[in-house]
Amino acid sequence: EVLLVESGGGLVQPGGSLRLSCAASGFLFDTAWMSWVRQAPGKGLEWLGRIKGIVDGGTTDYAAPVKGRFTISRDDSKDTLYLQMTSLTSEDTGMYYCVRETTLIGDWGQGALVTVSS
């Protein structure tokens, strides 16, 4: 069974930084392509970025709204995906989902809630 468990969410002040983690199990993590998707309160889904598997170069792609502020990385020795977020604003408030790419987006985690507020 594929399991994706996000952690690291919480309350952060505007301008601050936060790192989310996603612990993966149930599949070969090092070859998997992984993405982050977020959902602002009461709003739709927004893809943020992805990281390819190590055999495909481990390269990253980002959506325009977060490029330069967010960084996706992975530690294949720990089967863990990360999302480093900087220069956070209130518009970054929402639920952040770790997802595994299988024919686009396949499996979803339960999400981590990030609140940006003073």
Partner 1 sequence: DVVMTQSPLSLPVTLGQAASMSCRSSQSLVHSDGNTYLNWYQQRPGQSPRRLIYKVSNRDSGVPDRFSGSGSGTDFTLKISRVEAEDVGIYYCLQGTHWPPGYTFGQGTKLEIK
- Residues found near partner 1 in the complex (CB under 8 A): 35, 44-47, 49-50, 61-64, 97, 103-106, 108-111
Both structure tokens of 88: 């956070």
Are 6 and 20 in contact, with CB atoms under 8 Å apart?
yes
- Minimum distance from residue 96 beta carbon to partner 1 (Å): 11
> In whole angstroms, how far apart are CA 18 and each of 28, 85, 90?
27, 5, 13
- Minimum distance from residue 114 beta carbon to partner 1 (Å): 15
Q: Which is nearer to partner 1, 16 or 115 (CB)?
A: 115
Q: Which is nearer to partner 1, 82 or 97 (CB)?
A: 97
Distance CA 14, CA 92 (A): 9
Q: Which is nearer to partner 1, 16 or 60 (CB)?
A: 60
